[in-house]
Amino acid sequence: MMKAPNAGKVPGTQHRRLTLLTAIGLLGAFGWLVPHETLAAPADYQRPELRIPKDSTLTPERIALGKALFFDPRLSGSNWISCATCHNPALGWSDGLPTAIGHNMQVLGRATPTILNTAYNKKQFWDGRSPTLEHQALGPIEAAGEMNQTLAELIPELKAIPGYELMFERAYPQEGITDKTIAKAIAAFERTIVSTEAPFDRWVSGDESAISDAAKRGFALFEGKANCAACHQKFNFVDDGFHNIGLPSTDDPGRYVLVKVDVLQGAFKTPTLRDITRTAPYMHNGVYATLAEVIDHYDVGGVNKSNLDPNMKPLRLTASEKKDLTEFLKALTGAPLEITVPNLPSAF
DSSP state of 211: S
Q: Three-class SS of residue 254?
A: strand
Q: Minimum Å distance from CB 39 to other proteins?
A: 6
Stretch that binds other proteins, among 68-76, 212-220, 261-269, 298-306 (CB under 8 A): 261-269
Q: Three-class SS of residue 56?
A: helix
125 binding other proteins? (CB under 8 A): no
The correct pick among 49, 208, 251, 262 for binding other proteins (CB under 8 A) is: 262
Q: Is 208 a catalytic residue?
A: no
Q: Minimum Å distance from CB 249 to other proteins?
A: 23
Stretch that binds other proteins, among 27-35, 48-56, 69-77, 167-175 (CB under 8 A): 27-35
Asked if 202 and 210 touch (Cβ cutoff 8 Å), the reply is: yes
The rounded distance, in Å, linking the Cα atoms of 193 and 140 is 18
**Taking the CB of residue 60, how many other CB atoms lie within 10 A of it?**
10
Q: Minimum Å distance from CB 308 to other proteins?
A: 11
**Taking the CB of residue 196, how many other CB atoms lie within 10 A of it?**
14
Question: Closest by alpha carbon to 290, among 262, 325, 245, 258?
Answer: 325
12 binding other proteins? (CB under 8 A): yes
Stretch that binds other proteins, among 109-117, 259-267, 272-280, 285-293 (CB under 8 A): 259-267
Asked if 281 and 287 touch (Cβ cutoff 8 Å), the reply is: yes
DSSP 138-185: HHHHH-TTTT---HHHHHHHHHT-HHHHHHHHHHSTTT-S-HHHHHHH
243 binding other proteins? (CB under 8 A): yes
Q: Is the bond leading into 73 cis (omega within 30 degrees of zero)?
A: no
Stretch that binds other proteins, among 52-60, 173-181, 236-244, 279-287 (CB under 8 A): 236-244
From residue 126 to residue 145, the character string flagging contacts with other proteins as x (rule: CB under 8 A) and all else as - is --x-----------------
* List 37, 134, 146, 197, catalytic entry: 146
The correct pick among 71, 203, 219, 242 for binding other proteins (CB under 8 A) is: 242
Q: What are phi and psi of 318, to 5 degrees?
A: -80, 165
Segment 265-294, which members bind other proteins (CB under 8 A)? 267
* Interface residues toward other proteins, by CB under 8 A: 1-6, 8, 11-18, 21-22, 24-25, 28-29, 32, 36-39, 122-123, 128, 230-231, 239-243, 259-264, 267, 309-311
**Residues with catalytic function:** 146
